[in-house]
Amino acid sequence: MLQHFRLWSLTIALGGLTLTSTMSAASASSLTAEIGGLRNRNGQLCFSVFSTSQGFPTNGDNAVQNKCVKITNVSMRVTFKSLSPGNYAIAVLHDENNDRQANRNFLGLPTEGFGFSRNPAILTGAPKFADAAVSVAGENTTTQIQLRYLLGK
């Protein structure tokens, strides 16, 4: 009888471990960015995903994830996986010449397309983290980003 009780206790404990590991796997979220407004399919899209205002939007070293993807269509979807629930802001660059830099003209204006999650207004400079932050919870969150081009080509 005591051996049966120990086996039953072990089964409950292992069941708890299984439940715990399932719960932590389920708490990982993903964030999908749907990109619109590409003016051509040249180059690549380079993304930086930030979890705080530290370095947003220009210092990719402070991002939790960075990714560049080849442009295959004028409408693109890119997913960032293994994120903890929380607030994230995405900065994206249409790197038309594949140099992984935000190219500017002699006045300092961007010559390539760019965008941010939540599409905040761009007045005198880059938006603040809070203006671009998206709440990520559950299995997948999707945000639309409309690229902007300040100069025509």
Domain boundaries, the chain: 29-146
Per-residue pLDDT tens over the stretch 42-89: 999 999 999 999 999 999 999 999 999 999 988 899 999 999 999 999
The pTM for the full model equals: 0.81
* Residues of the chain above pLDDT 70, percent: 82
Task: Provide the pLDDT confidence category of residue 14 given band limits of 50, 70 and 90.
Answer: very low
Is domain 29-146 classified as CATH 2.60.40?
yes
Q: Which residues of 91-119 are buried (b: 16+ CB within 10 A; e: fewer)?
A: bbbbbbeeeeebeeeeeeebebbbbbbbb
Per-residue pLDDT tens over the stretch 105-123: 999 889 999 999 999 998 8
